[in-house]
Amino acid sequence: MQIYVWRHNKKFHSYSMIDEPSVNNNFYLDAIAIVLAESQEEALTLLQQKEQGWCIEDLRKISPQIYALDEATVLFTDLNR
């Protein structure tokens, strides 16, 4: 098992970034999905099954951070200014 983390920030999104992925159907400035799964495909399938508006094809365009469960690491920090 691994932990897959997708994060997409649209805080500074503009029309010049029209081809930028939009990872969720809902309006957002910062979207974060954290999934425990055997593979990235399984993680994406689990997100799709939740029916919370995740755009799987756009998530495929973003490389997730991947964390193995057999080593100590910091999973997430957040600093907003």
Q: How confident is the model over 23-64, as pLDDT tens digits?
A: 887 887 889 999 999 999 999 999 999 999 999 999 999 999
pLDDT at position 79? 82
* pLDDT of 18 above 70: no
Phi, psi of 48 (to 5 degrees): -65, -40
Indicate the domain borders of the chain: 2-68
CB 54 within 8 A of CB 24: yes
Q: What is the 3-state secondary structure (H, E, C) of 45-65?
A: HHHHHCCCCECHHHHCCCCCE
pLDDT at position 27? 82
Residue 73 to residue 68: CA distance in whole angstroms:
9
Residue 38 to residue 28: CA distance in whole angstroms:
28
Rounded to two decimals, what is the model's pTM?
Answer: 0.83
